[in-house]
Structure formats: structure tokens, C-alpha cells
């Protein structure tokens, strides 16, 4: 039974949020050493706001996992699991405990790291609160699953919204991210905004020129690489119907530009907040344009290569070339034009979304 539950609830969860976990492994596993993790954990435990922030992240992760699991429960293929509703809460908890541990391994491992550091710096109160919070997440998760299984299998009723009667094309991928890639978009935004904040902090404290911020935008743009991979996969699989329809270049350019702009909206707001003074207005406009075109170029590169391995190799090469162009002080406007070339080429075919 445990093997069946594992294949039904653990593997689909990690497959659905594969981009998020790859991003976490790359940032916190490859580019960071254990010493840095210990220093960050110590800072989080010593700072009350930081400690509550990590608890909030644990809660957001658990809510995303629970939402995904409840969505699986509503799938017709999972109708057989509604027979588990005949079990008592205690019996269900015993069966689902290994599944819960497997799906929440990220917060359990980081909780163990925080516990190790908390013992060393004598913050026992926060250590107790941490594990009470994690235990509460477990109890709430199992209770919601139990209540879902106790209810009759739901019938699907499609209801048209009275407010938004027709969802425009530029919002389709955003809805896909919200429904099925919640952790991916949250993880990418966390890494991207943290990177930009770090670059702005160094820019304000040191004697850097505009190239430093351009390099920061380049790093933040490539942090969105998993999202653009998922966007291409979404359009190739779920929008394959439109591949047989000739679409105008201008229409596609407009729709994709708006979608990418909406996804980058938090970073745009951060740029305006950090760099939005009157004397920096021209440079701010160039930075906003550069950030938009960088991400459009990355998406066009992925769409043009049409294969994961080729996209990754092209991504490494493109990052290195753009880094050199930034170092040699190429104007942001010219750099933006260069970035637009892969996007324009990818949109050139009339029989592509």
C-alpha cells in the first residue's frame, strides 16, 4: 500500500514542481557550502523577524503541497483512494506519514539544520516553537486530507465567471503557474528579488557603475530560466491545437511580451523603488527595457532550440557572452536589441504559438 501511495502522491508532486527543486538544489546545494548554510541559519535564529519568515516559508510550502494533493484527489484516476475515507483518522495518519515525510523533506531537513544550530547557540525556545509548528502543519495537513476523503466524490461543474467572461491569452500561462507551479514561481521570485537586493545594496555601498546593476539584471534574468522552460513546455503540450493555425507575428509578439512583463512585475517594482529618482530616470528606463528584453531573449532561445539539453548548453554560452558584453560596457539599448534577436527568430514561424 505504501508503494502505491508513494507512486501516486510523492512522484507526481516532485515531477510537477521539478523546476523549483532543481532551482533549490542549484542555489543552496551547488553554489553554497555547509559553512554558509550554518551562518544563515544562525542569523535566522538570532533575528526574530527572520525566524518568523522561515516559518512563513514552511507554511507556504505546506499549503502548496496540500493544494496539489487535494487537486489529485479530485482526479478521476484517484477515485479509488476515496475508500481510505472508511479508515479512522489515526489509521489514515499511519498510512500517510511516510508520504507526508517524503513530500515535506525540504522543510524537515532545514528544520533539522536549524535545530542543530539552535542547540549550539542556546535558543531552545525557538527550537521548541519550530517543531511545534512543523507538528501543527502535519496535523492540519492530515486533517484536511481526512475531511476531503470523507466527503463524496465531487462532480465537476464548469461555471463561467460573471466578472471575467473570457480569459485572454496572455493570462493563460499565469493561471497555469498559479494552479500547477506555485512553488516554482515563488522560488524563482525569492531568488530573483534576493539577488537584485544584494546587487543594489553593493551598488549603494561601493564605487560601482551602471554595469554592476546590468550584471545583476543578467543574473536575475537567468534565475527565471526554469519558468521560461515551463512556458515553452506549456505551449508545446497544452496549446498544440494552435500549431495548425497561422498566427500573425505582431499578435504573438504582443501577447508574449505582456505575459513576460506580468511575470517580471515584482522585479520592475523593485527597480523603480530602488532606482526611481529623477536624476536616474533615463538609466532606470534603460534598465527596465534591458530586463524585459533579456528575459524575452532567454525565452526565444529556449523556444528556438526546442530541447532541454540544447537549451541548457545555449543558456550557459549566452550568459557568458552577455557577461562579456556588459563588462565591455556595451550600451543597454544595443544589448537589448541583441537579446531580442532569438525572440524575433523564434516568433518568425506563423505555425507556432
Average pLDDT over residues 94-108: 87
pLDDT exceeds 70 at position 274: yes
pLDDT band at 295 (very low <50, low <70, confident <90, very high): very high
Give yes or no for residue 220 having a pLDDT over 70: yes
Average pLDDT of the segment spanning 265-287: 83
Residue 157: predicted pLDDT? 44
Sign of CA dihedral 135, 140, 143, 149: negative
What is the DSSP-derived secondary structure letter of residue 79?
A: G
Q: Percentage of the chain with pLDDT > 70?
A: 88
The answer to whether the beta carbons of residues 232 and 299 sit under 8 Å apart is yes
Residue 206 reports pLDDT greater than 80: no
Q: Report domain extents, the chain.
A: 2-150, 169-347
Residue 224 DSSP symbol: T
Q: What is the pLDDT of residue 306?
A: 64
Q: Taking the complete model, does pTM exceed 0.85, yes or no?
A: no
- Pair 82, 89: CB distance under 8 Å: no
Q: Is 233 exposed, middle or buried (0-12, 13-18, 19+ CB in 10 A)?
A: middle
What pLDDT digit, counting tens, does each position of 33-60 carry? 778 788 888 888 888 888 888 888 888 8
Q: How confident is the model at residue 307 (pLDDT cuts 50, 70, 90)?
A: low
CA 282 to mean position of chain CA atoms: 31
User: 21-41 as b/e, with b when 16 or more CB fall inside 10 Å?
Assistant: bbbbeebeeeeeeeeeeeebb
Band (118; pLDDT cuts 50, 70, 90): confident
Exposed, middle or buried by CB within 10 Å (0-12, 13-18, 19+), for 190?
A: middle
DSSP structure string for 125-142 = HHHHHHHHHHHHHHHHHH
Amino acid at each position: 500500500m505504501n508503494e502505491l501511495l508513494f507512486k501516486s502522491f510523492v512522484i507526481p508532486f516532485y515531477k510537477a514542481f521539478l523546476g523549483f527543486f532543481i532551482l533549490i538544489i542549484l542555489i543552496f546545494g551547488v553554489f553554497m557550502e555547509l559553512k554558509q548554510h550554518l551562518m544563515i541559519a544562525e542569523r535566522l535564529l538570532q533575528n526574530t523577524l527572520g525566524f518568523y519568515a522561515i516559518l512563513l516559508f514552511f507554511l507556504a510550502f505546506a499549503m502548496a503541497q496540500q493544494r496539489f494533493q487535494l487537486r489529485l484527489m479530485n482526479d478521476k484516476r484517484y477515485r479509488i483512494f476515496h475508500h481510505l475515507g472508511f479508515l479512522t483518522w489515526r489509521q489514515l495518519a499511519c498510512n500517510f506519514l511516510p508520504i507526508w515525510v517524503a513530500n515535506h523533506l525540504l522543510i524537515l531537513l532545514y528544520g533539522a539544520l536549524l535545530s542543530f544550530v539552535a542547540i549550539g547557540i542556546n535558543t531552545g525556545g525557538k527550537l521548541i516553537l519550530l517543531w511545534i509548528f512543523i507538528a501543527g502543519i502535519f496535523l492540519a495537513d492530515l486533517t484536511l486530507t481526512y475531511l476531503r476523503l470523507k466527503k463524496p466524490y465531487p462532480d465537476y461543474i464548469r461555471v463561467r465567471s460573471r466578472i471575467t467572461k473570457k480569459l485572454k491569452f496572455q493570462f493563460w500561462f499565469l493561471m497555469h503557474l498559479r494552479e500547477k507551479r506555485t512553488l516554482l514561481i515563488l522560488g524563482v521570485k525569492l531568488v530573483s528579488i534576493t539577488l537584485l537586493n544584494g546587487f543594489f545594496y553593493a551598488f549603494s555601498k561601493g564605487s560601482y557603475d551602471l554595469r554592476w546593476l546590468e550584471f545583476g539584471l543578467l543574473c536575475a534574468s537567468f534565475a527565471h530560466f526554469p519558468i521560461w522552460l515551463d512556458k515553452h513546455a506549456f505551449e508545446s503540450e497544452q496549446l498544440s491545437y494552435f500549431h495548425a493555425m497561422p498566427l500573425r507575428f505582431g499578435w504573438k509578439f504582443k501577447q508574449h511580451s505582456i505575459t513576460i512583463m506580468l511575470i517580471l512585475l515584482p522585479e520592475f517594482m523593485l527597480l523603480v523603488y530602488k532606482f526611481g529618482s529623477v536624476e536616474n530616470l533615463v538609466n532606470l528606463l534603460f534598465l527596465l527595457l534591458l530586463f524585459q528584453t533579456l528575459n524575452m531573449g532567454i525565452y526565444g532561445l529556449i523556444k528556438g532550440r526546442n530541447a532541454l539539453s540544447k537549451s541548457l548548453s545555449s543558456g550557459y554560452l549566452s550568459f557568458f557572452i552577455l557577461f562579456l558584453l556588459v563588462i565591455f560596457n556595451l550600451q543597454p539599448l544595443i544589448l537589448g536589441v541583441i537579446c531580442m534577436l532569438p525572440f524575433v527568430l523564434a516568433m518568425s514561424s506563423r505555425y507556432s504559438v
